[in-house]
């Protein structure tokens, strides 16, 4: 008899999903914010990269609740905070040299009907530890900011024009001003 899989916060979404086919439906019933993320989380490349703890941070839900849902437990529905984030300026944001940063403009990706998270995660994985990352998006990417904060980045965001937000990420503890 096979030993059941132990699901914890470090379990990748793809593994939890394979163990429990109704997982994304359980997440959506638990927190309506998941309705916005089903298309993102349903991407196999994303599901291979994100842990349950990563997902909890993105939707501002308790990690323990997502683990319990993945393990088949009943959890009381708990809507998360609105999907907004702090847009207060950070002191280093205007000093970022865009030409010396890893930059991705997600607006054309969204316009093509696709989700850019897998591409962003590839950029993060390929970046050197001291690289500044810049994401241009059609909205303020609060869930991405929470995810990358969990992975050791601080961020600043600025609305450049209607439907054009720039979010800069720098490693926490990065000495001096960004390049």
Domain parsing of the chain, residue ranges: 13-70, 93-171
The pLDDT value given to residue 30: 93
CATH class of 93-171: alpha beta
The mean pLDDT of the chain is: 90
Q: Looking at the chain, how many residues does it have?
A: 179
- Percentage, residues of the chain above pLDDT 70: 91
pTM of the predicted protein model: 0.88
The pLDDT value given to residue 5: 80
Q: 177 falls in which pLDDT band (50, 70, 90)?
A: very low
Report, as an integer, the average pLDDT of 31-35: 87
Q: Is the C-alpha dihedral spanning 140, 143, 146, 147 positive or negative?
A: negative
Beta-strand pair 164-171/102-105 = unpaired
Cα angle, residue 15 at apex, residues 11 and 19 outer, rounded to 5°: 115
The pLDDT value given to residue 2: 58
Cα 100 from Cα 37, distance rounded (Å): 31
The pLDDT value given to residue 91: 87
φ and ψ at 129, to 5 degrees?
Answer: -60, -25
Report, as an integer, the average pLDDT of 30-47: 89
Report, as an integer, the average pLDDT of 154-178: 85
Rounded-to-5 percentages of helix, strand, coil across the chain: 40, 15, 40
User: What is the number of other CB atoms lying within 10 angstroms of the CB of residue 104?
Assistant: 18
The pLDDT value given to residue 84: 61
Express each pLDDT in 84-128 by its tens digit: 667 777 889 989 999 999 999 999 999 999 999 999 999 999 999
**Inter-residue contact 134 to 94 (CB < 8 Å):** no
Report, as an integer, the average pLDDT of 147-169: 95
H or E element that contains 157: strand 153-161
Kindly give the residue spans of alpha helices, DSSP state H, lying in 42-141: 44-49, 52-59, 63-70, 107-111, 117-126
DSSP 3-state assignment of 50? coil
């Amino acid at each position: 008899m096979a030993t059941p899989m132990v699901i914890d916060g470090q379990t990748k979404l793809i593994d939890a999903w394979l163990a429990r086919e109704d997982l994304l439906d359980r997440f959506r019933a638990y927190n309506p914010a998941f309705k916005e993320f089903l298309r993102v989380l349903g991407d196999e490349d994303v599901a291979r990269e994100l842990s349950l703890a990563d997902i909890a941070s993105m939707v501002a839900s308790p990690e323990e609740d997502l683990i319990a849902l993945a393990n088949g437990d009943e959890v009381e529905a708990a809507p998360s905070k609105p999907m907004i984030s702090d847009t207060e300026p950070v002191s280093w944001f205007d000093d970022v040299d865009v030409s010396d940063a890893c930059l991705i403009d997600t607006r054309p990706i969204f316009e093509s009907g696709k989700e850019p998270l897998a591409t962003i995660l590839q950029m993060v994985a390929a970046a050197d530890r001291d690289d500044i990352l810049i994401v241009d998006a059609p909205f303020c990417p609060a869930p991405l900011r929470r995810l990358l904060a969990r992975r050791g980045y601080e961020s600043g965001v600025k609305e450049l024009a209607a439907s054009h937000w720039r979010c800069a990420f720098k490693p926490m503890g990065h000495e001096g001003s960004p390049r």
